Amino acid sequence: MTDLKIKSHARKRYVERIRQPSHYKHLSTCKLNCSECQKLNGDLQCVVNNFGRKIDWEIGTSYREAKSNNWIIKDFNFIEAIKEKYGEIGAGRRCFYRNKNAVFVVIEDEEVPVLVTVLDISMVEGTVLDAFVGTNKMASVFSAWKFQAKQRKFR
């Protein structure tokens, strides 16, 4: 029995954002679906097809380490931004496990958790800003971040 079901989208995002971010940087900056995007997406699909088991092993190892050490992102603003931006991702409980620079977005429903996507740790604050810039929620976001910074200072 496997301890994690990994969606194809998550494999692609892992390779793009964690394993080879410099090679696939264009995909995160271009929104036109140009010929370079199409080439990189084709390349990404080939990598996943050819090295899927190795990718799954890396993801599984990293996820298990994060879960066993309880490395969970509990940033309220980030969790609210994900809800604001994407709505409900699945029927189960969402968990955000962090290991090194990877954030695993996992839906824990039924017996086997489902990995739906992988974010780079730098995307956490960007997700919050994207969701709340121009809204009245930004003041509370900055207040929370300021409080967290003070807490880190005294540790």
pTM recorded for the entire structure: 0.80
CA-closest candidate to residue 44, choices 28, 22, 24: 24
Number of helices followed by number of strands (H, E) in the chain: 6, 4
Alpha-carbon distance of 152 to 32, in angstroms, equals: 40
Number of folded domains in the chain?
A: 1
> CB of 82 within 8 A of CB of 64?
no
Average pLDDT taken over every residue of the chain: 84
What is the reported pLDDT for 1?
37
Residue 33: left if φ>0, alpha if ψ -120 to 50, beta else—which one?
A: left
Q: How do residues 59-79 score in pLDDT, each as one tens digit?
A: 999 999 999 999 988 877 788
With 0-12 CB in 10 A as exposed, 13-18 as middle and 19+ as buried, what is 86?
middle
For the chain, the distance separating the N- and C-terminal CA atoms, rounded to the nearest angstrom, is: 41
Find the domain containing 54 and state its range. 5-153
**pLDDT per residue as tens digits for the range 93-131:** 788 899 988 999 998 876 889 999 999 988 877 677 666
